[in-house]
Structure 1
């Protein structure tokens, strides 16, 4: 018996194999289906998906074999990975110098025939094989070899998918850690910036009241300006925190709810005045998604319609549709509208269109950027159309989540 040599890139190969986190995992139908097919196509009692570890070969999937692993020194597959591009076929192991006296050829159900196709990464690093085994001499036809190669490609795709999923898991954990730090930062910002602003607002009120007889009208005007600026800055900080808070929503945290039930909660939160009418969808369709994220979208869009309404009566129409793969929502108001040349940039962070709201304040350019981030995180897109002096209409979709 001649044990297989180590591949020239053995250290890198073992690192890649370990990074898959696949060794010693439970059986998987996706892999088992391929070994079943390999055994059937090649007419062999045994087929394996074998991964070559440092000192063993471990079977991710096995057909016709009870053992989970064997020593690498005895492994036929350890020889197969030395030529990553070709099938290793051994018609009769008892007549092959590499496998004479191999313990696997001496057992009650011996390995006599072997054919294995290496399983490679995208970079060409062999991790193991898809192999078929017989207890008697055998040989594959050209059609069987071609089929075994194609099945090997399917195993490689499964391994690649596992790699991508592992990378996504790592990225998700990193984002969770980042979001945790962001929340801590938001808490510090809220305390260290908003509290002094609150003190400024309170102090300006106290000074204006206590020293009213000693301050002339110009001084009172300055105090009002100080209070107004402080309130504006406090609101600005709140919106920034809301914008980055939306990134930390767990989009996978889904619930099922009626769209009109959610909209009723939004309307209750917003203290709608008598000169505004909100028309909700005729049908209360069921939605399955992150309700907090969708609620935040509607709060921002309805809030804009209220702030920039210029008609005697503000009318906001909301529609909802259940399409095959996504939900579609439309919100239209009869407000002052948006200039055509500004529609393309309206979703940019800190981008404003220059209009003053109904309280005489200029927007911060944060709300619509937040909306777009939320829509995209829910697997959808958002568009806007408008006619100056007539209406604004936002249409957005979110992907259905099973």
Structure 2
């Protein structure tokens, strides 16, 4: 039997190709279906096959000892898919004028009884068939026929699942590629901006040293405005770099003295503090194995926020803890600051989301977004609890690793 090259056949083969099932390796789940089909129908042979414009391919075959599938012109299944809405049954091929001289009947595998159910897509295209074969005449009962139909439905369910998984993997790869490209672009852009901005800041310092005694109040105001703007730009660029590098700074693992790390970060953040120096309480912490760079960025961003969002006239106090669960370390940084409304506790981890204007509190809106990105790379979570005017606690978890 030759396959017709009509519009239906072109669309049918196209539909088959979308499932990418031809010439794939054997899979136990399909083999299980042919075993069940053979058992239900009491036949020695059961096959799941797919047919393109030139050949048929056996995805699973039970009871066949011969080599590759026969050419399409001898295929029983090619007849089965010609009527995709119904089963195809041959009770005794030796007495059938179409199949009596077929080499598959007169020789190996000596087909006498054949019953095939087309494997049909939701659009009505028959991709192949689930069939059972015997060496003697036969006929399926209504219960056997219905069971075989149910098994063919399962085959199509598996095909649809494969197709969706393939699309999901493809989307994930594209998303990862897009994300990597955006991260690389952001890192490059931020890096290229730092040099000219550094030149501007250096020029401003020289101008101040040389000419400050000649400036009037208006000149001083303009200079302060320009200086603050460049400082904010530098902060934004540094935060953008941290955010862009968030996916790449979690690969190197080493033993870390967390107490020492937190102390050094706190001293750095409070080195040029105006007014009363903040206090910090660090609970006793063990050595842990993780990415030092990632952990530094995490703690520095969180502690910086804790020090920044404070009430005037109140001495800042931080409380940092590390607790161990079954598989994770849980860090917490608690402050006595202005607090956050409950409805904003998730918003604060989104890029460029700020709850205050620059005049109130300086910042780029990328610090906690970078933290979230890094924590997720470390297979952990990050969240916050807060009470207005009493303070905020930021928690994050990272997976435990053996020292």
Shorter-chain TM-score above 0.5: yes
CA contact (8 A) 2:336 2:391 kept: yes
User: Partner of 1:164 in structure 2?
Assistant: 164
Residues 245 and 141 of structure 1, relative CA distance in 2, 3 Å threshold: farther
Distance 1:262 1:6 in 2: 72
User: Partner of 2:38 in structure 1?
Assistant: 39
Counterpart secondary structure, 1:193: helix
Distance 1:262 1:32 in 2: 54
Distance 1:384 1:235 in 2: 24
Counterpart secondary structure, 1:26: coil
Distance 1:35 1:151 in 2: 9
Distance 1:244 1:211 in 2: 39
By how many angstroms is 1:249 displaced? 6.2
User: Partner of 1:362 in structure 2?
Assistant: 362
- 5 Å-filtered alignment, 1:261-276, equals 267=262, 270-272=265-267, 275-276=279-280
By how many angstroms is 1:293 displaced? 7.5
- 5 Å-filtered alignment, 1:221-300, equals 222-243=222-243, 246=246, 267=262, 270-272=265-267, 275-279=279-283, 300=301
Distance 2:3 2:93 in 1: 14
- 5 Å-filtered alignment, 1:264-343, equals 267=262, 270-272=265-267, 275-279=279-283, 300-309=301-310, 311-319=315-323, 321-322=325-326, 329=330, 331-336=332-337, 337-340=339-342, 342-343=344-345
CA contact (8 A) 2:303 2:333 kept: no
Distance 1:363 1:298 in 2: 16
Distance 1:292 1:9 in 2: 59
User: Partner of 2:24 in structure 1?
Assistant: 25
- 5 Å-filtered alignment, 1:378-397, equals 383-394=383-394
CA contact (8 A) 1:90 1:115 kept: yes
Counterpart secondary structure, 1:50: strand
CA contact (8 A) 2:281 2:320 kept: yes
- 5 Å-filtered alignment, 1:42-81, equals 42-66=41-65, 67-81=67-81
Counterpart secondary structure, 1:116: strand
Q: 1:288-341 CA distances to partner (integer Å, 9 max, x unpaired)?
A: xx9988886665444422433554431134545448xxx695735132112346
After superposing the two structures, state which structure 1 stretch, 93-102 or 26-35, moved more: 93-102
CA contact (8 A) 1:315 1:334 kept: yes
Distance 2:50 2:349 in 1: 50
CA contact (8 A) 2:111 2:133 kept: yes
Distance 1:145 1:375 in 2: 54
* Equivalences, count: 386
User: Partner of 1:206 in structure 2?
Assistant: 206
Distance 2:168 2:52 in 1: 25
Structure 2 stretches of 5 or more lacking a match? 271-277
Residues 328 and 147 of structure 1, relative CA distance in 2, 3 Å threshold: farther
Structure 1 stretches of 5 or more lacking a match? none
User: Partner of 2:353 in structure 1?
Assistant: 351
- 5 Å-filtered alignment, 1:209-220, equals 209-215=209-215, 219-220=219-220
User: Partner of 2:275 in structure 1?
Assistant: none
Distance 2:326 2:21 in 1: 40
User: Partner of 1:145 in structure 2?
Assistant: 145
Counterpart secondary structure, 2:38: helix
Higher gyration radius (CA) = 2
CA contact (8 A) 1:200 1:227 kept: no
CA contact (8 A) 2:119 2:152 kept: yes
User: Partner of 1:102 in structure 2?
Assistant: 102
CA contact (8 A) 1:36 1:63 kept: yes
By how many angstroms is 1:167 displaced? 0.8
Q: 1:24-48 CA distances to partner (integer Å, 9 max, x unpaired)?
A: 1221112212222222222211111
Distance 2:263 2:362 in 1: 25
After superposing the two structures, state which structure 1 stretch, 306-315 or 139-148, moved more: 306-315
Distance 1:156 1:268 in 2: 60
CA contact (8 A) 2:3 2:53 kept: no
Distance 1:398 1:97 in 2: 72
By how many angstroms is 1:134 displaced? 1.2
User: Partner of 1:12 in structure 2?
Assistant: 11
CA contact (8 A) 2:87 2:116 kept: yes
Distance 1:81 1:262 in 2: 68
Distance 1:96 1:295 in 2: 80
By how many angstroms is 1:51 displaced? 0.6
User: Partner of 2:273 in structure 1?
Assistant: none
Residues 160 and 356 of structure 1, relative CA distance in 2, 3 Å threshold: same
TM-score, normalised on structure 1? 0.79
Coordinate RMSD, CA, aligned: 4.0
